[in-house]
Amino acid sequence: MSLSEFELIHRFFRDLGAARDDVVLGIGDDGAITRVPPDHELVTTVDTLVSGVHFDENAAASDIGHKALAVNLSDLAAMGAEPAWATLAISLPEVDESWLQSFAEGFNALAAKHRVQLVGGDTVRGPLQVTVQLQGLVPNGAALTRAGAQPGDAIFVTGTLGDAALALQMIESGATPSETVLGQINRPVARVAAGIGLRDLASACVDVSDGLAVDLGHVLAASNAGATLQLKALPGSVAIVVVGDEQERWRLQLAGGDDYELCFTAPADNVGQIDALARELDLRITRIGEVEKKKGLRLARPDGTLWDMPPGGFEHFRA
């Protein structure tokens, strides 16, 4: 890129997000310098969004800016980490000032909300892609991981499941999703405060990005355990509970993905504290099943009969 373009981009990205005391040197040198507080560990995550794959080619730039950070915030939330510093690599077919302005606004609003400071960036000419790398802080040993679920632990999920999948399905069939449902795709909310609140309560945690069945499967694999989920317990929005075909509804909720909720396990003794956290955060937290010694994922129908999740995952559920 030419120098004038460089200056333009520099202007948009120089001061994105919060101004943090632990940033010794921000954007503008060969690297940023930051300080990790004593007795804290660093949690690092990275996600790339590709135009036409992870967002629609006509998506609003501000939504892309929001989502690129939100999907990383969701990963940090699943680790119980407090967000701190981000880097942003953007590939753009051309330098479009209004697009950059809008992207920066979407990114900035979410970054400021979570006290994230942008400390590094690279802008290149190429097909539209956005890679955000995000770092967070957690007291030594307090991070949540996918390992640690114990037989007997209860399984929970925050918020509701299936809206993003429903929205995609409606769009593909030519229907118009409601603003709320569409928001789940364009402006996902990461459960950062819930993740931090769960540090001392959860035994394992994952964010639901690929679909509950797949992501819970990661927890069970890492924890060397199995589980049974109660299908009737799966929390859904008003939009999803009116889906008439219950198998279709479950498919959206278990395999849809893009929910960016937290699925976590916890000893049954912690249920009271988890309820208190839900009230404090004004966040729905639903108990949906139980961790078991027997490997595999079983789905309990409302009538109590069990369905074994086939090895190929939920996509083969109806076959």
* 230 lines the binding site for its own copies (CB under 8 A): no
- Angle at the Cα of 304 (from 298 to 308), degrees rounded to 5? 20
* 116 lines the binding site for its own copies (CB under 8 A): no
Instruction: Give the whole-angstrom CA distance, residue 65 versus residue 62.
Output: 5
> Under rule CB under 8 A, which residues in 152-191 are in contact with its own copies?
none
Q: Considering the complex, what minimum distance in angstroms separates the CB of residue 181 from its own copies?
A: 25
* 31 lines the binding site for its own copies (CB under 8 A): yes
Q: Stretches 77-85, 182-190, 226-234, 291-299: which one binds its own copies (CB under 8 A)?
A: 77-85
Q: Stretches 10-18, 134-142, 163-171, 250-258: which one binds its own copies (CB under 8 A)?
A: 134-142
Write out the two tokens for 12.
Answer: 């948009």
Sheet of 226-230: strands edge to edge? 204-208, 261-266, 154-158, 285-292, 226-230, 296-300, 306-308
Q: Tell me the sheet residues that pair with 136.
A: 43, 83
The set of residues, in sequence order, having a beta carbon less than 8 Å from that of 162 and lying 6+ positions away, is 234, 236, 237, 240, 249, 252, 253, 256, 259
* 16 lines the binding site for its own copies (CB under 8 A): no
DSSP strand pairing (40-50 vs 129-139): antiparallel
* 19 lines the binding site for its own copies (CB under 8 A): no
Q: Which is nearer to its own copies, 41 or 105 (CB)?
A: 41
3-state secondary structure string across 242-292? CCCCHHHHHHHHHHCCCCCEEEEEECHHHHHHHHHHHHHHCCCEEEEEEEE
* 87 lines the binding site for its own copies (CB under 8 A): yes
* 306 lines the binding site for its own copies (CB under 8 A): no
* 102 lines the binding site for its own copies (CB under 8 A): no
> Under rule CB under 8 A, which residues in 198-217 are in contact with its own copies?
205-207, 214
Q: Considering the complex, what minimum distance in angstroms separates the CB of residue 101 from its own copies?
A: 21
Instruction: Give the whole-angstrom CA distance, residue 135 versus residue 130.
Output: 17
Q: Which is nearer to its own copies, 70 or 205 (CB)?
A: 205
Q: Using CB under 8 A as the criterion, which residues of the chain lie in contact with its own copies when the complex forms?
A: 3, 24-25, 28-36, 38, 41-54, 75-76, 78-79, 81, 85, 87-89, 91, 119-122, 124-127, 129, 131, 133, 135-136, 138, 140, 143, 145-147, 205-207, 214, 222, 313
